[in-house]
Amino acid sequence: MINFLISLGLITIYSETIIVQMPPTTTIVSEKPVESVVEGLASYYSRAGCLGCSPTLTMANGEPLDDNKLTVAYNRAPLNSYIEITNPKTGEKVTARVTDRGGFERHGKIVDLSVATKKALGCGDVCKVIIKSGYIK
């Protein structure tokens, strides 16, 4: 089905995003979820501050920062979506909600974890993580 729509010029693929150009009355439901797996370093953020930044008390999705919720600042998944984060060193795995964006990539990090997420993963101030996103939960 996807190859057929590509041949008709109705689908354009950019990295992991599929854009479908169809009349407004047509709906296509994906038969297979698009998933992304990224590995890199995570830092954390809290009301007390974070490594290399000073977060606002309001997240990009409009909610207040809550150190006790399993949330993350992540630039590669939609706000309010869920990502699965694994600490390969401890084997701990957490599903957290994307509530914020961040400039942490310029510091070599791929995600900022809330205090609760950091603790659940058994991370220190910085740790290596594997992130799986796309159709989680």
| Residue-range domain boundaries for the chain | 1-32, 36-133
Question: What pLDDT, on the 0 to 100 scale, is given for residue 129?
Answer: 96
Question: What pTM does this model have?
Answer: 0.70
Say if residues 136 and 97 touch (Cβ distance below 8 Å): no
What is the DSSP code (8-state) at residue 65? P
Q: Please report, as a single letter, which amino acid is at residue 131.
A: I
Question: What pLDDT, on the 0 to 100 scale, is given for residue 45?
Answer: 84
What is the DSSP code (8-state) at residue 58? B
Question: What pLDDT, on the 0 to 100 scale, is given for residue 8?
Answer: 45
pLDDT by residue, tens only, the chain of 137 residues: 444 444 444 444 444 445 454 444 444 444 455 578 999 999 988 877 655 455 567 889 999 888 899 999 999 999 999 999 999 999 999 999 999 998 788 889 999 999 999 999 999 989 999 999 875 65
CATH number of the domain at 36-133, out of 2.60.260.40, 2.40.40.10, 2.60.40.60, 3.40.50.1000?
2.40.40.10
- What does DSSP say about strands 49-50 and 17-20: parallel, antiparallel, or unpaired? unpaired
Interatomic CA distance for residues 132 and 115, integer angstroms: 20
